[in-house]
């Protein structure tokens, strides 16, 4: 999950305790309140005998008022002295009075122009230029660039104003860091609460499915076995083969439904072995070819050389491939191309099945709130992002999946197939199995352009293919 922008030399000191009610009450950092208090007491005791550094005294600067009055006074005095000197010179030279008056008028006009020009230079130097520089820096601070600092002018009043604005910007920057820390604390707390809620919901689901599976196994299992025995007896006595084939197919579907429910309710994590991905996929393809489920399809396999073995249960990985291949075959009733490929990769813990939304703020991550994590099994192995994995793709050229139901394909009992064609648990078991092994599963699809299911399966430690 982001960090606040570092503070420039603002002169503001961060207090020893984290400010704000949320920063004090957060427990996500792993340090309890008594521990923090004891650490704070220890730090205070350690610094009791140390001398407190005094802040540097501000540099003495001339006053703006005095500077302007002094410079303008000099100009005015120089103009007055020039006028008096000229009048005395005219008396000594006995210049006629009309001519002397015209010359004096010209001198006064020249003095006024010089006074205004030099006054404008002084105002620009001591007032206008520093104010413009401070205004530009203040606009950057107002736009959110709190690390910006105003330059300190040469005069005392404007320098004090710049220091005050810089102190305000430093405090705003510190408050932004505190706010960012509080947001992260809230996000960690929300994540912990969400994880706890998911664990409670998962436990309740497993318990409910366990009771349902036990009831189904008891109530349906025995009559189902008897019905299959009767079907076999009828076949030996020469019954109608077409009717018997349909009967056995429906009985097999019921048996598969019961087995899927029982498998979904199984708690805990099983022992994981080193499994050859290509061999498991080839076994699934062989089973489905014998049943005629791949008739009319062009099947391609692309296995990378030296493909490492993955950490999984072999029979369940075969069933994962069976479910994915059957799902692809059902999407291509008129024929098409089925492609299975595998290559070494690295495990992306978030995977691209849970993308960041455009409206998500950059400093927060809400992907853990998406429905994806409902299929993280209790007791699933922890795998770090970037761990070695095998990336498996099952791609078809069928009708694709509509965007509004793309997130629902892994939900229990969700299916777009007509009644009697599917149980809605095949992809659910795929997601549950893969994530129980510490992997990830994703789906990409566009209507009319087929679908691609992507699995990230962790590599079994120290074992290669």
pTM of the model: 0.47
> Based on the domain organization, do 294 and 426 belong to the same domain?
yes
Pick the closest to residue 303 from 276, 325, 321 (CA basis): 276
Question: Do 66 and 188 reside in the same domain of the chain?
Answer: yes
Residue 16 has pLDDT above 60, yes or no: no
* Region of residue 448 (phi > 0: left; psi between -120 and 50: alpha; otherwise: beta): left
For residue 276, give the CATH number of its domain.
3.30.565.10
User: Cβ contacts of residue 372 below 8 Å, gap of 6+?
Assistant: 353, 354
- What are 301's strand-pairing partners? 340
Lowest-confidence pick of 128-142, 191-205, 276-290: 191-205
Q: pLDDT tens for residues 171-188?
A: 888 888 888 888 888 888
- Write out pLDDT tens, residues 310-334: 999 888 899 899 999 998 998 898 9
Please report whether residue 21 resides in a domain. no
Same domain, 422 and 279: yes
Q: Are residues 192 and 277 in the same domain?
A: no
pLDDT of residue 20: 40
**Are both 304 and 165 inside the same structural domain?**
no
pLDDT digits (tens, 9 = 90+) for 162-172: 888 888 888 88
411 in any annotated domain = yes
The pLDDT assigned to 206 comes to 63
The closest of 332, 335, 374, 331 to 353, measured between CA atoms, is: 374
* Domain match, 193 and 275 both: no
At 52 the pLDDT is 46
Same domain, 461 and 319: yes
The answer as to whether 30 is a domain residue is no
Final residue in a domain of this structure, among 178, 197, 216: 197
Rounded Cα–Cα distance for residues 454 and 341 (Å): 10
Q: Is 300 part of any domain?
A: yes
Question: Does some domain include residue 41?
Answer: no
Measure the CA–CA gap between 282 and 57, rounded to whole angstroms: 80
Contact 457, 389 (CB under 8 A): yes
Task: Clarify whether residues 179 and 274 are in a common domain.
Answer: no
Under the banding of pLDDT at 50, 70 and 90, the label for residue 336 is very high
The pLDDT value given to residue 7: 42
Q: What is the pLDDT of residue 340?
A: 96
310 and 179: one domain? no
Total domains, the chain = 2
Residue 153 lies in a domain: yes
273: confidence class by pLDDT, cuts 50, 70, 90: confident
Of 419 and 220, which is predicted with more confidence? 220
Note whether residue 286 is domain-resident: yes
**What is the distance between the alpha carbons of residues 116 and 136, in angstroms, rounded to a whole number?**
27
Per-residue pLDDT tens over the stretch 261-270: 666 555 555 6
Higher model confidence: residue 215 or residue 25?
A: 215
pLDDT tens, residue by residue, 142-161:
888 888 888 877 777 788 88
Q: Note the pLDDT of residue 47.
A: 42
Tell me the β-bridge partners of 273.
312
Helix (H, G, I), strand (E, B) or coil at 229: helix
Mean pLDDT of the chain, nearest integer: 73
User: Could you list the residue range(s) of the whole structural domain that residue 444 is in?
Assistant: 270-465
Instruction: Locate the DSSP E strands across 116-246.
Output: none
- Boundary-marking domain end, from 197, 230, 258: 197
Tokens of 392: 């498996």
Domain limit, last residue, from 144, 173, 197: 197
Q: Let me know whether 189 and 275 are in one domain.
A: no
276 and 189 belong to one structural domain:
no
Could you tell me if 188 and 286 lie in one domain? no
């Amino acid at each position: 999950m982001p960090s606040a922008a570092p503070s420039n030399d603002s002169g503001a000191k961060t207090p020893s305790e984290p400010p704000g009610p949320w920063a004090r009450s957060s427990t996500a950092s792993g340090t309890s309140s008594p521990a923090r208090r004891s650490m704070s007491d220890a730090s205070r005791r350690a610094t009791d005998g140390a001398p407190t550094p005094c802040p540097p005294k501000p540099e003495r600067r001339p006053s703006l008022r005095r500077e302007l009055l002094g410079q303008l006074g000099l100009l005015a005095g120089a103009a007055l002295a020039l006028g008096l000197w000229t009048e005395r010179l005219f008396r000594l030279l006995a210049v006629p009075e009309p001519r002397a008056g015209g010359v004096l008028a010209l001198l006064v006009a020249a003095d006024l122009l010089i006074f205004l020009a030099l006054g404008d230079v002084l105002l620009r130097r001591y007032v206008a230029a520093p104010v413009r520089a401070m205004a530009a820096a203040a606009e950057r601070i107002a736009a959110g660039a709190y690390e910006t600092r105003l330059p300190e002018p040469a005069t005392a009043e404007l320098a004090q104003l710049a220091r005050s604005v810089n102190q305000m910007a430093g405090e705003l920057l510190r408050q932004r860091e505190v706010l960012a820390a509080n947001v992260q604390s809230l996000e960690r707390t929300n994540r912990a609460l969400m994880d706890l809620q998911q664990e409670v919901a998962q436990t309740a689901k497993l318990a409910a499915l366990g009771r349902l599976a036990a009831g189904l196994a008891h109530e349906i299992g025995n009559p189902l076995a008897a019905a299959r025995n009767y079907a076999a007896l009828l076949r030996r006595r020469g019954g109608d083969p077409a009717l018997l084939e349909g009967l056995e197919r429906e009985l097999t579907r019921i048996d598969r439904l019961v087995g899927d429910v029982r498998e979904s309710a199984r708690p805990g994590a099983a022992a994981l072995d080193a499994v050859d991905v290509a061999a498991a996929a080839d076994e699934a393809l062989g089973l489905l070819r014998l049943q005629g489920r791949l008739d009319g399809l062009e099947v391609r396999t692309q296995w990378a050389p030296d493909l490492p073995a993955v950490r999984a249960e072999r029979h369940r990985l075969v069933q994962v491939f069976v479910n994915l291949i059957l799902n692809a075959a059902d999407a291509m009733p008129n024929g098409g191309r089925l492609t299975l490929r595998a290559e070494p990769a690295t495990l992306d813990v978030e995977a691209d099945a849970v993308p960041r939304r455009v409206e998500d703020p950059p400093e927060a991550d809400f992907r853990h709130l998406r429905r994806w994590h409902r299929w993280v099994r209790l007791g699933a192995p922890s795998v770090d992002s970037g761990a070695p994995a095998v990336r498996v793709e099952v791609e078809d050229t069928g009708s694709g999946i509509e965007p509004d139901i793309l997130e629902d394909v892994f939900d229990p009992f969700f299916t777009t197939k007509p009644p009697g064609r599917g149980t809605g648990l095949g992809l659910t078991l795929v997601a549950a199995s893969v994530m129980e092994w510490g992997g990830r599963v994703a789906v990409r699809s566009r209507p009319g352009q087929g679908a691609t299911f992507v699995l990230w399966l962790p590599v079994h430690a120290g074992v290669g293919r």
